[in-house]
Structure 1
């Protein structure tokens, strides 16, 4: 699963866990019935049992992921893999420099051949490259229409020359580290932790409540204000208590800090004030409501109050970089692979900071000279000395920082061993599987803030068995289901007011306000809007879908999309980079890229992506291709209300949806949206486009 592929974990030190102490909240959580032994069935009263549960699920998920990868490569032709953006064949490789002491390898195509626009490789992805029995892997640093620049930590093969096949990879090392972390908890034999937050999390875990929460989230009833209670409310009582170590100080200074945040909305200030003094806080940020801005303001508040490092994390590298960018002015450091970090922010990475150390730079220069001179004894000695020097430099930088920024997975790195970090803020928390969010919490967390939106897509899980057991229920969603009420950020600044009107009514019980006017989000030129409101249009098509293996495509819809993009670009107001094309199916991504090329548009310069891959992002203009059109009116996972919510809320100034009204209206959520489209006269036929 994507959540597992993101893990970068080493065993966590649990030496401080006390033996025999009881879990703070275990006896207070509702769920399960008492068996003859007196133990509540389904309720985990020991942190080790909690870890055992997730270790089992993670192993099952990884096995499913590995099996899917093997089947894809072994049972799919190279031609289809290339067309689907999973692989690039016959590339030429050459070493072309260093990246923070690691080797850069440049892969390129011969002649004037270009990489397909449907290629699914992005900066930070792990890539496998192979040739005649030789194999290696690296991290994608940069991509152009003809080249892939890859950072390789250690090369054990000669890469120069032709004939390399490059595949999208999966990270077995990260999975092994995850297992080591969970096994370390189990091996400790402890019943609980001295840390309040991990006790609250592990001690209240209940499989029956997770299952009930999952069903409620999938049903969509919560979108319209149906807030049935799953837990008994006692968890909220525990969560709202301040940390024992600093009760009075936090309450007093939280009010002082929040009073200075005049540039934020009232809902943002309320959320921050509450989070500054609570033990566990959930902040729900619907699309465009400033989740990351709120997170950064909150982190600054913690730095002022606690005077100890704050751990700022997120599920993805993109969201983590956004946090890093918003913390300018603080003493901040980013851990994790620098190749995964946005280029403009790499100077803030731990690798860049270590490289500036005079002693480290001097030792690296000596090591390079020794390697050139083939002095193996000197090389071994210098490597050992350099390792210790880099370790000391890292420790000094981390301990002296106001904020340590990391993906959730990298919080398991041994770099953080020995550091106790009492304050943890996790952005994008609803997109992370619970084991992922556990990693930053294990660093001594006394205050935890989870920021996300359980009305958008959950963590990506591919195994049916682990899904059935609730691995796709995030920690945020589980705690919400057990009675912790989120603070809602209720003012959006992304979309044209008309674009947010329907999603607010459909997914947020009409509670979202707009902080921008229609004049601030003018509809772009190039589209013949058929309603006075502008900004929204549904293009009706009735061309049947085509099966693409386990995916689907719709060539007629792809043609409509390409024509719309061509008209937008010809109008000259928007560039290709300002237009996003999204669809639920990878098969349609390829079909759209081919249609764009047919109009002479370089698909590689555009953002053509799955809906799932676009969560958390925005563009000036979005075109959504719904794909499904069949006599049986089957929608597949297109009928997930959370996926529709994401799809409808990415655009700032204009949104066009292309699809079959007859098929889509078989789903009640789509049907409601389509009725509103007709009410506002936003419906047109494909004949007006083609």
Structure 2
């Protein structure tokens, strides 16, 4: 007979202290349960050697059955409680996901509104007939006016290329227009003709300076948009066109879809969710493709809903380490040089050593590709890569044996080369297909070039005919023309079915130019789109490596490709929602993730000040590092002269960055008088310079007090004099214009330097002038840095950011010349004060009069 002490097994557990709700996460301990149940059932133990009667044996059997039934009931109760515990834990995880999604939804809405407001102000500004306003926008590089559109200058993978040029009689005081535009290949632009009443969305292609005449700019337009515009005007060619910087709403749409996908993957259900952000996306931008955005969001939700919780460890890494209040503390922490580990740093009450350890345990789990024997294969494969140094091979062993990895690559340390070998190793180990992404198109092309070189080199090195298929996905207009052969557009265009469908559409298009019949064109366009999609999907499913940008990885065509590895380059430059796009797209199949970047260089660029302060400019790389995920740092650099590298290593990397190149391989340019030839660094002190506000680039007169840049004409004159000394006469100069880079923190100073070089006859020398932020990831033989700031109070603004100084100082291979006010920069405090102290010790500071 079973006798329970009040209320069954649960009450018994409480009575014996074996169950306390705060300690019961999933299910109570097995031993504690059995002990409590046995104690709750009154059982008299049978003494050894004692003879028992039949009745006694029958009672003992009954009591034994009672124990078994009690244990069975306790097990069922335990399962019920465990299910409730998991449901409660799952509900808590859903709440965490909801907080994560809503946090970034708010920040993205703020960022989107800031971008849209800038564009609206620009369009309103350009609508004015005042030539001064036009010139202000042209000098800021954000627009071009009074252009002539040349009909159908060519084709690019099924799209139409148009060229726009100023009238032959039009010459700007700055010289040829278009030489310093704020556009880059693939950027969204808006073509506008007020006389025709036509607006056309297009993609910027390139700018040219033919024969020293007016600049020509090329744009790429979809045929359907051309036909729609032709319906309003007999011909879209002719004068009166303007070109503006556009707003790429596709980027925000992909961010929103990624947040929606994470929300669905968590399994948490609510009436609201991130759809608020998607609604803001539609209403705030006044898009012409609202239905398309909604359909894409629904498709994304349905795609990921079937694979919910297929990879919950990655979700725990992303969400389990997230606290909105901690993000602000992390952002402040990253504003100064950070240590190699954050294990001993707490960013909030929930940021404990235990949580850091749990997250690191998830990240370092061996990827589930096969048996443990794979570890020996990894070690043997890494030894084959003779082009890598010890630090890079260690990094390969590190990332190939973990589920989630961080690689920190200081300037010139071969970070991208290491990633390309990691991709090759994954392919050789059978871990494909692999998705390789970067935030910008330039970085993506650089990654693609490295992947192709490594695969070809390894095939030649081991004399094996290794077949590999690498595909570049994205807008062909934004891809380096040298890589067009491996783009998805080019590969699709080689299919005969696609050629036939495009020829049919071209015939329909020609027949309908005079009397447009939209139905015929739409039918032919739909047929072409279906044929292209089938061909593209076939190519993607057979690819070994797909290379694209973070945003383009959210493309609909990629949803049916089961990527097992994701590699992100330059992840420290990407906002977290951008890094989220490829991770959510591959969530149902991904087993290994590698993030590579350098949180000691510039963070993501954010337009909204409010969104930045709340953490939108904190990358996923930096946040995971702050949450205790270990990283591997590459410790040998190949770019800079050893003296330049030593200065950067001491100031920004705690003396842990060594040089793999010798001083003899980085000889200083001979056409400049270096104070110390063994140390090719010079600070030219311009103490009599004056920093001036430049509001010409502001979107409107009202916005001028809020949006302004700075220039220093005295520094620009000194820089021009130095460049004249270095590059003229051309016949005897050691360096050419393309070997020199001029960088400065402020866009207004970029324009001022351009004017000065044009006046000095150096505008055609090929010298690249850029902001420090725009030059990250680049290098030149010689770098000239104009610091601009010159005031009595030591106010430096964003120039005081140590990461910006790190980027500026680490771009040069053979020589670095800094032009700036020693007094102001020293008074501004660290990092400039410490950096100037090191230069003073090396005796490389001179007055501008001595130059």
TM score, norm. by length of structure 2: 0.74
Partner of residue 500, structure 2: 362
Deviation of 1:227 after TM superposition, in Å, equals 7.2
- Once residues 379 and 75 of structure 1 are traced to their aligned partners in structure 2, the CA distance between those partners, rounded to angstroms, is 36
Greater radius of gyration (CA): 2
Partner of 1:315: 439
Q: Deviations over 1:431-478 (max 9, x none)?
A: 001111111112132211000000000111122221222111111101
SS in 1 for 2:560: coil
Distance 1:118 1:387, change over 3 A: closer
**For the residues of structure 2 that align with 1:576 and 1:592, how far apart are their CA atoms?**
14
Picking from 680, 683, 702, the partner of 1:535 is 680
Go from structure 1 to structure 2 and tell me whether the alpha carbon gap of 1:387 and 1:220 turns closer, same or farther (over 3 Å shift).
same
Q: 1:257 to 1:410 in 2, by over 3 A?
A: same
SS of match in other structure, 1:404? strand
1:610 deviates by 0.5
Structure 1 match to 2:509: 371
Of stretches 206-215 and 372-381 in structure 1, the one that deviates more from structure 2 is 372-381
CA distance in 2, matches of 1:516, 1:189: 49
Q: Which residue of 1 aligns with 2:134?
A: 78
Change (3 A) 1:248 1:86: same
- Indicate how the Cα distance of structure 1 residues 387 and 503 shifts in structure 2: closer, same or farther if over 3 A, else same: same
| Equivalent residue in structure 2 for 1:64, among 114, 118, 121 | 114
Partner residue of 2:552 out of 399, 410, 415: 410
Residue 544 of structure 1 deviates from its aligned partner by: 1.5
Q: Which residue of 2 aligns with 1:276?
A: 400
Matched, 1:450 2:595: yes
Determine the C-alpha separation between the residues in 2 that align with 1:279 and 1:368. Answer: 49
**What SS does the corresponding residue of 1:654 show, helix, strand or coil?**
strand
**Aligned counterparts of 1:82 and 1:294: Cα–Cα separation in 2:** 41
Shifted more, 182-191 versus 617-626: the winner is 182-191
Unaligned runs of 5+ in 2: 1-24, 27-87, 127-132, 210-214, 230-234, 269-307, 457-467, 696-707
Shift of 1:45: 5.1
Go from structure 1 to structure 2 and tell me whether the alpha carbon gap of 1:134 and 1:297 turns closer, same or farther (over 3 Å shift): same
Contact 1:331 1:403 in 2 (8 A): yes
Please name the residue that 2:725 is paired with.
567
Deviations 1:615-648 (A, max 9, x none): 1111111100000001111000000000000000
State the alpha-carbon separation in 1 of the partners of residues 90 and 809 from structure 2: 43
* Contact 1:521 1:652 survives alignment (8 Å): yes
For residues 658-673 of structure 1, the aligned pairs below 5 Å read 658-665=819-826, 666-673=828-835
Q: Deviations over 1:325-349 (max 9, x none)?
A: 1122431001010000001001111
Matched with 2:256 is: 179
The structural deviation recorded for 1:574 is: 1.5
In structure 2, the CA distance between the partners of 1:688 and 1:228, relative to structure 1 (3 Å rule), is farther
Task: Tell me which residue corresponds to 1:216.
Answer: 333
Counterpart residue number, 1:23: none
Query: Please, which of 503, 506, 513 is the counterpart of residue 658 of structure 2?
Result: 513
Which of 692, 699, 712 does residue 546 from structure 1 map onto? 692
Q: Measure, in 2, the Cα distance between the counterparts of 1:92 and 1:377.
A: 31
Check conservation: 1:581, 1:609, Cα contact below 8 A.
Answer: yes
Query: 8 Å contact 1:538–1:684 — kept in the other structure?
Result: yes
Once the two structures are superposed, residues 251-290 of structure 1 have per-residue CA deviations (whole angstroms, 9 ceiling, x without a partner) of 2322122121222011111111111120100000000001
Partner of 1:602: 763
Q: 1:464 aligns with which of 604, 609, 622?
A: 609
Distance 2:138 2:745 in 1: 20
Alignment of 1:206-245 (within 5 A): 206-222=323-339, 228-230=344-346, 231=351, 232=353, 233-234=356-357, 235-245=359-369
Change in CA separation of 1:238 and 1:181 when aligned onto 2, cut-off 3 Å: closer
Q: How big is the shift at 1:379?
A: 4.3
Post-superposition Cα deviations, 1:479-532, rounded to whole Å, max 9, x if no partner, equal 100111210101000111111111100100001110111111111132111113
Q: Structure 1's 226 and 204: CA in aligned 2 closer, same or farther, altered over 3 A?
A: closer
> Who is 2:216 aligned against?
147
Q: Is the 8 A contact 2:795 2:824 kept in 1?
A: yes
Q: Give the 3-state SS of the residue equivalent to 2:137 in structure 1.
A: helix
Are 1:256 and 2:306 counterparts?
Answer: no
Corresponding residue SS for 1:675? helix
Residues 130-172 of structure 1 deviation map (CA, whole Å, 9 limit, x = unaligned): 1204211222222113111111123232431112111222212
Q: CA RMSD in A?
A: 2.4
Q: Tell me, in whole angstroms, the C-alpha distance in 2 between the residues paired with 1:333 and 1:572.
A: 42
Structure 1 distance, partners of 2:412, 2:429, is: 28
| Counterparts of 1:72 and 1:658, CA distance in 2 | 33
Which residue pairs with 1:10 in the alignment? none
SS of the aligned residue for 2:372 comes to: helix
**Is the partner of 1:605 in helix, strand or coil?**
coil
Contact 1:117 1:593 survives alignment (8 Å): no
Report the CA distance shift for 1:673/1:44 in structure 2 as closer, same or farther (over 3 A). farther
Q: 2:155 is paired with a residue of what secondary structure? A: strand
CA distance in 2, matches of 1:43, 1:189: 7
Name 1:440's counterpart in structure 2: 582
Alpha carbons 1:284, 1:487 under 8 Å: kept: yes
CA 1:245 to 1:521, structure 2 compared with 1: closer, same or farther past 3 Å? closer
Q: Which residue of 1 aligns with 2:838?
A: 676
Aligned match for 1:96, one of 147, 153, 166: 153
Q: CA deviation at 1:179?
A: 2.2
Q: Who is 1:138 aligned against?
A: 202
Equivalent-residue separation in structure 2 for 1:190 and 1:211 (angstroms): 28
Give the Cα separation in 2 of the matches to 1:47 and 1:531.
57
Match of 1:580 among 741, 761, 769: 741
1:370-404 alpha-carbon deviations (Å, 9 max, x no partner): 33234866544433332222111111111111100
Give TM-score, length-normalised by structure 1. 0.90
Report if aligned partners of 1:596, 1:603 keep a CA contact under 8 Å in 2: no
